[in-house]
Structure 1
Amino acid sequence: MAMWNASKGFQNSTGQDVNPDLDSERKTASFSVERLTNILDGGAKNTQIRRKVDAVLQSDPEFSRENKYFQSQNERYEGAVRRSLYLSKKIEELGWVTDGLEQKYCYRALGDDLAFSVHQVFMKSILGLGTDEQIAKWIPLAEKHYIAGTYAQTELGHGTYLRGLETMATFDTTTQEFILNTPKISAMKWWPGDLGRTATHAVVFAQLYLKGKCYGIHPFIVQIRSLHNHSPAPGVTVGDIGPKMDFAQTDNGFLLLKNVCVPKENMLARFSQVLPDGQYIKRGTDKINYLTMVVIRVAIIRSEVLTTLMKACTIAVRYAVVRRQSELKPGDPESKILDYQTQQQKLLPQLATAYAFHFGCDYLQEIFDQGYAETKQGKFDLLPELHALASGFKVIATEFSSAGVEICRKACGGHGYSLLSGLPSLYTKLVASCTYEGENTVLLLQTARFLIKCFGMAKVGQPLPSSVAYLSSTRFGKCGAQEKRDFLNPDIYTETYKQRAFRMVEDAAVKLQTLIQSGTAQHEAWNVCSVQLARAAAAHSHYIIVQTFVKALERFEKELQIQRILKHLCDLFALHGIFSNMGDFLQAGHLSGKQSNMVTESYLDLLAIIRPDAVPLVDAFDFSDGNLNSAIGSYDGHAYERLFEWAKKSPTNKQDNQTFEKYLKPLFQNALSKL
């Protein structure tokens, strides 16, 4: 096994413990892997802290994942709760600050082996939507796990469409309480994590009714279970929704409420308040209800989506250089499968996508921090742009990454189908993100509404937010590329993406306006245009990510080796997008057929250029073997040995074979006299 060192990461191999096919890849890196790791971590100090945290966790048997793939749903759940509470105690003992880097790196290392993920959302909701008094009351209790919280928004009949939620909260002026009800089966809360078996309290989103009038969705802190014996509170029916595609450790639940009384002070009231006489006071904007969702989306893109794609790339690329198959040249030894162009075309664009999303996350975080700070001051001007950016980015990140992880899995052949590879659980975990925290099609249409509004503003000369300033453009020409290498110029391909986005937004806007002017009702016109609107929003978001990656390259002008490899990855990400969506770019009229062939040639050339650095590029992600928990993706490259070693640990190899005794033995004994 390669040795882990808390200050230096994985020590350089001398070859004796590492598969030679993998070892040779590391000796030809064209850049400093350590420097790239530092960049991804946001600085060498952060890398040092992360490795220290990893070392602490790896040395503690409580956090071992050795038998994870052989555990039942109940074992996964109980283990996750036990580890989470143990981790909280350990964090406190070590003096690691709440929401500090150490805590962040704990979650990066342990990920889906922990419980209370939605408990964190419960706290973020209170911090974002609660008054100072409510924060002071509830957050200390939640931080110490004296209460366990969940975020109950999604209903059996409604998810992303908040205005359609059916849970009701009616204020009773005589008792100074809100009475909460789920009036029919479609109104029951369904899916919230930590609800099924754990939570004692929930932030419940419900339609607020005052004197018979509905004031829209508002959040309420509701106690759903007793702190004495964990039994459901009066009027509460709660339980687990059953097995899912993944997330066995998470107790997703259902919640029905029948005349459940909630004290007046339990309505989160930073932005709206109900007075004792039932008078309603509003502060800010209705869009503030999206704030918590934006907070969550920004967080999951980096911590869940990006990290999962990086892990899949690490496993698949390492396996692709230790797996040998067939001959490239007749008579030669079998070749590393990563030497085949088809394998490169599967894996290297996913690697480029991971790097693109890393820099995209930096950009989104920057915009979010600015918008969040302004919101705290009562300024909401940035919220529409922030919501549109986060929605579009969430769609692109989850769609590209879930598809990318599945490509990585299939690229590992039969062994990628084994749970022991680590890849199936990465995929089933990640594909859920296309739905939770905003269903992707709905999010694209929300982004599209922002784009159509801004397109209309541009037509009358109004100033636009920075991310959509290009919609004010009046002149678009043909692509100026003369030869294939011109498509390695970021100005060329960024302009190509900009034009596609502009044309698709313009086409959808013109069609929408034409239908409305011809007498079609606005809602009907929107539905008729919705496919084009969604595609335009995706094109816009794709453009933003390409543009962001290009701008990030400027930071490394004094580090030529780092800039060179990142430039190759940026080029590959951009050209892969054009290659995979060629029809869009040709239809926009910017590219000619001849230029589309140039794109293809430059794209395929990049595969061979990046291929020698593939292993160093995934090594820069710096996942320990414990983080990856993959038999075929370990640092030492001993995939076959580890697969066999892990398979022998399967409980099925140690259990009595009752099936043989019951069903097979009577049949097999018939052969004894004949053989």
Structure 2
Amino acid sequence: MVAAQKINKDLQEERDKVTFVIEEFAKWFYGGPRQLHEKRFLENYILSDPDLQSDVDPSYLSHKEKYEEAIRRVVVILKRIDKLQAEGHKIDNVHKKVLGSMIVSNVFKEGSPLTTHIGMFGQALASLGTPEQQAEWLDRALRCRIWGTYVQTELGHGTFVRGLEVTSTYDPKTKEFVINSPTTTSYKWWPGGLAHTVNHVVVFAQLYSLGKHHGIQPFIVQVRDFETHKPMKGIIIGEIGTKVGFNTVNNGFLAFDNVRIPLKNMLMRNSQVLENGEFIKSQSPVLNYGVMTEVRVDIVNGMAQHLAKAVTIAMRYSTVRRQSPIDPKLPEPKIIEHVTQQMKIFPAIAKVIAIKVAADKLYNLYDEITAEVKSGNLSRLPDLHALSCCLKVVTTNEVAQSVQICRLACGGHGFLNSSGFHDIYGNVVAAQHYEGENTVLLLQTARYLIKAWSQVLQGKKLTPSVEYLSAYKSGQLGKWKGSPNGILTALQAATAGQIALAYKHLEERKKTSSVEVATSQTGIELAKASELHCQVFLLSSLMWSVNRAAKYFSKALGEVFQDILHIYAYDLALRNLGSMLQFVSFSSADLEQLQMDFEASLKKFKNNSIGVVDGFDIPDSVLGSTLGAYDGDVYERLLSAAKKSPLNQEDVNKSFDLYLKPFIKSNL
């Protein structure tokens, strides 16, 4: 990768122990040699632009300066992409592959102002617009000649979409919609890029026509003038303020005061309003929310990439850092020699692989079901929705926790901005909030699981993701075996048992209260069932991928995949013992053996751990960390970064003469 560098001897010593070909792993991780080559080409082509280099870390800039610098960098990258295309390089969906990927994660440490434009605006036009509407707006959006965002959430309503307050009322006399924000709580709130970046929005509003209400529908609205960028008439727009992270995403607020748009600006691929005001209903209202499903799939994939950065930093630092003798007669060891350090980092490495595999499987499922929907078959949409909801929740929660563990594993140095953890963590925890409140999403998955259990009781055939419920009902699950496959079976039994228990309590509560009240009262059990169902999907997907890899990759790499599977399965079992003990028979010897197997799996994986994180193929220009650089020169990088602090550019800060000296010299 960067063989010409002088490598820290401890780091090189660990690399020399690796038993597999790292390049082979990298090709697998990125989907094949072509995809890996394309990623590297784009990294080199985009990030080599000198206008993206800066001696001043953005963290030292003011909030306003950060945004302005982010916009400057966006334009540099867009020009670079234009140049790439002019040179004849044909790369499909290149704007998303650059601006919607990890490639620019160190360029925009706190997110890009075009994040939502790249991730949602174009997709909304593609999935919600008619061919005529796509001809007018989509191509310009994909080429970033108009900039837009996806506007749904309001100040007073988020995940509860039906509660949105912004209205769009059709006026048949002028053939226009009149959009209004009737209350303070109806202000649109949060969309990325909305504040000062975009000039268009896809907005979701309550539709009224001929005095009738027709639910939530999407509309495209120009919010800023093309020439001056000033807000259009009736548009009230601004920024919502600083946040824990994502501070250059330019999240904004938006309100409408009798804003008129033409009839053609209602996105009518699914539902339509005719010139006379007649409303033609979609075959399924959920089709309007397909964009959110795709974004949740993107989030799952993004979590794997963010965690890959975190474990790369923690693993390389742990290989270079020496501290706390294990044997007092020997020198201080690399901290990765401590089994407690391995316990922190190795399961996180395994999670990267498990989440990446689950994301790949979810992408394939999304493509299959999208094709079915286009042909009028909506039967598998609920399955996709249920999986995307719970995976978004579990992966964002677990990755946030794992990034924090990796940061803590780096001691005090992990608390520095220059470590890179601050930015990774800020980007990850943001995903816990957007595209659906996590508990609500778990309850949406639970609704699907309860229905599936009801079908089991009726003897009906289930979709593949929940087939294990039938096996549980027929008594095929519940016997403990300490292998990954045995752990999967035990987890399936625990999940099915939890679903059955929630179903039982829900039915009992429905006898004395409404369905809504009964569901609310059973919420804790339902949410737990959804989390377990997601863990079943993650483990089963990883097992499938590892078994497949054994057929197509070298024996050495196949063994590494097996080691990763064992770490992931044992760690998962230990974290979910409470749930499994309720529905699976264990002996004390079984539990003791599980812990011993977990510790043995850490030891077995150790020599290949650095090879796996190297195989994530994250160059220093993307990693952006003093602790995790490929050469392992941690201490020189830490000192160099510290010297760049603006406070170190003068020997005496002016605050001494202004405040400290007068106080010291005073007679007080």
Q: Specify if TM > 0.5.
A: yes
Does 2:74 match 1:84?
Answer: yes
Alignment-derived partner of residue 626 in structure 2: 631
Is residue 288 of structure 2 the alignment partner of residue 289 of structure 1?
A: yes
2:190 and 2:94 map into 1 onto residues whose CA distance is 30
2:133 maps to which residue?
Answer: 134
User: 1:134-174, CA deviations, whole angstroms, 9 ceiling, x for partnerless residues?
Assistant: 00000122234332211110100111111111111111111
In the alignment, which of 520, 524, 548 is matched to residue 527 of structure 1? 520
TM-superposed CA distance for 1:565, in Å, is: 0.9
Residue range with higher mean Cα deviation, 45-54 or 538-547:
45-54
For the residues of structure 2 that align with 1:466 and 1:367, how far apart are their CA atoms?
Answer: 11
With normalisation by structure 2, the TM-score equals: 0.95
Q: Which residue of 2 aligns with 1:371?
A: 369
Counterpart for residue 400 of structure 2: 402
Task: Tell me how far apart the structure 2 counterparts of residues 283 and 541 of structure 1 sit (CA, whole Å).
Answer: 31
Q: Give the equivalent residue in structure 1 for 2:592.
A: 597
Distance 1:545 1:611 in 2: 23
1:11 counterpart residue number: 3
Are the aligned partners of 2:478 and 2:493 in contact in 1 as well (CA < 8 Å)? Answer: no
Q: Are 1:492 and 2:482 counterparts?
A: no
1:176-209 Cα distance to aligned partner (Å, 9 max, x none)? 1111111101111001111111111110100111
Give the alignment partner of residue 658 of structure 2, picking from 645, 648, 662: 662
Deviation at 1:30, TM superposition (A): 1.7
Aligned-pair distance for 1:23?
0.8
Q: What pairs with 1:99-498 in structure 2 (closer than 5 Å)?
A: 99-100=92-93, 104-105=97-98, 107-111=101-105, 113=108, 114-120=112-118, 121-302=120-301, 304-473=302-471, 474-476=473-475, 480=479, 487=482, 489-498=483-492
What residue in structure 2 maps to residue 41 of structure 1? 30
Match of residue 4 from structure 1:
none
8 Å CA contact retained: 2:297, 2:363: yes
Equivalent residue, structure 2, for 1:73: 63
What is the deviation of 1:322?
0.8
Query: Is the partner of 2:332 in helix, strand or coil?
Result: coil
User: Is the Cα–Cα contact under 8 Å of residues 65 and 626 in structure 1 kept in the other structure?
Assistant: no
Residue correspondences, number: 653
Letter paired with 2:450: I
Q: Which residue of 1 aligns with 2:43?
A: 54
Q: 1:615 — aligned with what?
A: 610
For 1:497-512, list aligned pairs within 5 A: 497-512=491-506
Evaluate the alpha carbon distance shift between residue 288 and residue 266 of structure 1 in structure 2; reply closer, same or farther with a 3 A threshold: same
Distance 2:400 2:512 in 1: 41
CA distance in 1, matches of 2:31, 2:470: 35
Equivalent residue of 1:447, what SS? helix
Q: 2:477, 2:490 within 8 Å by CA — same for their partners in 1?
A: no
Q: Residue 442 of structure 1: SS of its match in structure 2?
A: helix
Cα distance in structure 2, aligned partners of 1:123 and 1:33: 36
Distance 1:606 1:343 in 2: 14
Q: CA-to-partner distance for each residue in 1:349-381, whole Å, 9 max, x for gaps?
A: 111100111111111111011011222333322
In 2, Cα distance between the equivalents of 1:268 and 1:472? 42
> What letter is aligned with 2:655?
T
SS at match of 1:261: strand
Q: Deviations over 1:379-438 (max 9, x none)?
A: 322211111111111111111111100111111110000000001111111111111011
Q: CA RMSD in A?
A: 1.8
Contact 1:553 1:566 survives alignment (8 Å): yes
CA deviations over 1:545-591 (Å, ceiling 9, x no partner): 10010011122224221111111111111111111121111112343
Give the superposition deviation at 1:97.
4.2
Q: CA deviation at 1:329?
A: 0.2
Alpha-carbon distance between aligned partners in 2 of 1:670 and 1:341, rounded to the nearest angstrom? 56
Structure 2 match to 1:63:
52
> Structure 2: which 5+ residue stretches go unaligned?
none
Residue in 1 that maps onto 2:576: 581
Deviation at 1:664, TM superposition (A): 1.3
Shift of 1:638: 0.8
- 2-structure distance, mates of 1:87, 1:377: 38
Q: In the superposition, relative to structure 1, how do residues 593 and 65 fare at CA in structure 2: closer, same or farther (>3 Å)?
A: farther
Name the SS for the 1:222 alignment partner.
strand
Q: CA deviation at 1:475?
A: 2.9
Cα shift readout 1:61-95 (whole Å, capped 9, x = no counterpart): 22236523323322322222222222222222212
Name the CA shift for 1:12/1:568 in 2 (closer, same or farther; >3 Å).
Answer: farther
Cα separation, 1, equivalents of 2:466 and 2:478: 21
Q: After superposition, give the CA deviation of every residue in 1:185-239 in whole Å (9 maximum; x if it has no partner).
A: 1111001111111111110100111222211111000111112211211111100
* Equivalent AA in structure 2 for residue 370 of structure 1: E
- Asked whether the 8 Å contact 1:49–1:101 carries over to 2, the reply is no
After superposition, the Cα gap between the structure-2 partners of 1:82 and 1:618, relative to the gap in structure 1 and judged at 3 Å, is: same
Q: Which amino acid aligns with 1:10?
A: V
Deviation of 1:98 (Å): 6.2
Distance 1:549 1:72 in 2: 44
CA contact (8 A) 1:477 1:590 kept: no
1:31 aligns with 2:25: no
AA aligned opposite 1:42 = G
Whichever residue aligns with residue 52 of structure 2, its letter is F
Q: Identity of aligned pairs, percent?
A: 37
Q: Could you tell me whether the CA contact under 8 Å between 2:246 and 2:430 is conserved in 1?
A: no
3-state DSSP of counterpart to 2:448: helix
CA contact 2:479–2:490 (8 Å) conserved in 1:
no
Q: CA deviation at 1:101?
A: 6.1
Contact preservation (8 Å) 1:74, 1:249: no
8 Å Cα contact 1:309-1:354 kept in structure 2: yes
Partner of 1:650: 645
Matched position secondary structure for 1:455 = helix
Task: Return the alpha-carbon distance in structure 2 between the equivalents of residues 519 and 667 of structure 1.
Answer: 71
In the alignment, the residues of structure 2 paired with residue 102 and residue 571 of structure 1 have an alpha-carbon distance, to the nearest angstrom, of: 38
Following superposition, the deviation at residue 105 of structure 1 comes to 4.9
Question: Which runs of no fewer than 5 residues in structure 1 stay unpaired?
Answer: 1-8
Change (3 A) 1:560 1:63: same
Distance 1:65 1:312, change over 3 A: farther
Structure-2 separation of matches of 1:365 and 1:103: 16
**1:110 and 1:576 mapped to 2: Cα distance?**
32
Distance 1:403 1:136 in 2: 44
| 1: CA distance, partners of 2:375 / 2:74 | 34
Which of residues 524, 543, 551 is equivalent to 1:550?
543
Query: For 1:10, what is the secondary structure of its paired residue?
Result: coil
Distance 1:437 1:97, change over 3 A: farther
Moved more, 565-574 or 77-86: 77-86
Alpha-carbon distance in structure 2 between the residues aligned to 1:126 and 1:139 = 6
* C-alpha separation in 1, matches of 2:379 and 2:54: 46
| Matched AA of 1:315 | I
Asked whether the 8 Å contact 1:479–1:591 carries over to 2, the reply is no
